[in-house]
Structure 1
Amino acid sequence: MLVRRGRLLRIGAAVAVLLALAGYVVVQYVFGGKADPRCKVVSANGDGASYEFGADQAENAATVTAVGTSRGMPERAITIALATALQESGLRNISHGDRDSLGLFQQRPSQGWGNARQIMDPAYSAARFYAHLEDVPGYSRLPLTVAAQRVQRSGFPQAYAKHEPDAALLAAALTGRSPATLTCEGRAAEEPGDPAKVRAALIRDFGRDVAPKGGPGGTVTVPVDAPAGGAEGGAGQRGWELAHWAVARASALGIERVSYGGREWGTADAGKEWRKIGDPAKADKKSSGGRPGDPGSGTDQVRIVVGH
């Protein structure tokens, strides 16, 4: 009897595996075999550290970072915010949680964080988090778990610590301090991209100081100036912050190419690296983002090209 029962259990387990595999195949068939695009950030220190995450997480991380730097917050504050969002929601803008908790930071309308619609806006929820963090005396010198807990009042304050290494990698890339360290898998846009939506998203996350401009062929250019508000870094770091932001939001906004600082990321290259453009005067039209010798590949502006 025991032998028979064991055999039945093994058969049942095998059937379950086959059903799961069949379900996966059906989903891949129905949805065209397209998996969610993945993103990756690598360390600029040559220590081999890296972190892989989804395109939706990258989009939210880029917004959290942009809101922080636009408020003049230091990189340490960005790291604290990203680690908190990783713990609270996995950097996903979820519409559920403990009791009435919502959004990236699991903020509660009943506790004065705003109404449900506001909290489900990543830019709003990030701004509220930073506003509370600024009220914590000496937060940048505190252990991350302590600083995050002073804002969140979580029942599991030590849980934030495990996310600090990944959050630090993300913060270094998304603030632009670590150039060309964030990439996302390329995927050609299923529908034409809209440059107006890209410009609106830039202004929403960074404020009107970014002054994005439209151009021919679905191009958006963003002049690069040192960040306002006392944020860390100069114009070069600001340029990489904007460039990484565009890569992180490429899937949602239908962005096909981003160029800055003599490098270019693009879906045609599978989106897995920033390749050197070389001499812009000798580059072909696609490499330079539209015209031979175009300055968009330099350091005076970030060039973003949407699919069309």
Structure 2
Amino acid sequence: MTTLTLASKRRRAALKTLAFMSPWLIGFAVFFAYPLLSTVYFSFMHYDGFNAPVFSGAKNWTYVFENYPLFWPALRNTLWLVVIMVTLRVAFGLGVGLLITKIKTATGVFRTLFYLPYLAPPVAATMAFAFLLNPGTGPVNSLLEKTGIPAPGWFNDPTWSKPALTLLALWGVGDLMVIFMAALLDVPTEQYEAAELDGASPWQRFRYVTLPNISPIVMFAVVTGVIQTMQYYTQPLIAGKVASGVIQGAGTMFEPGYPDKSTLTLPQLVYNLGFQRFDYGSACVVALVLFVLSMAFTALLMRRRGGLMQAGD
């Protein structure tokens, strides 16, 4: 009787736990597990969205990796943006946060000025930057020419298009600034005072006091930045359209990546293959590559952070 009672209590406890977890389990199944399994399934199918899918084996994978000319440039551009853009955004956001926390007057004004660009719609912000950085008529190049500095081609030059996108990302760094400001203001002042009494320089106080205290926030900013950059779609597409002068009307198809595939990213390929070429199988292959890369970067960063924490201990 006692054994049955214990088993009944455990069963009720398990059912209660399952009931509390059910919203998460349902959300996980509907919004993550099912789409992921469907993507894997369709990656092995020939499917155009109109006719029933037909099993095609590894043809979609072979086409994307060997015969689709846009895949490797898009992969290189995406990795470049992940490494360079994310690093600079985190460093710049942290620098701005440090600067504003040190300012004694008009802190609210500076905080507002740095945060406002983040609220600008991505399409409007990109179009404004394309106008400002226009090689022929843009005010930025006009000012550079007056000072005797060679004017870059920006969005019209394959060498400068990704740095121009990086400048756009740095302009909208207000979200990271706010996060870092909150973390910096939460660092115990006693630790700064103790380090100063020990004769630590400003760099040593930053390295041995500030960074260890805000390292979880830095990791959060890097991981979320990597995920967001893996989904980078709107800004490079709009920048390429505006710089190329292409006006897309009904029945026309814009080939992304202008100039010379330098602004092409993997999310653009997913849209191009799936919704412009109606090749859903190949689009699913690119989507899975994005998923694997995101997981690999996240796992690498988390492992790196775990190793640093163990070394610190």
TM-score by length of 1: 0.31
Which of the pair is proportionally richer in strand? Answer: 1
Instruction: Point out which structure has higher relative CO (alpha carbons under 8 A, 6+ apart).
Output: 2
Higher helix share: 2
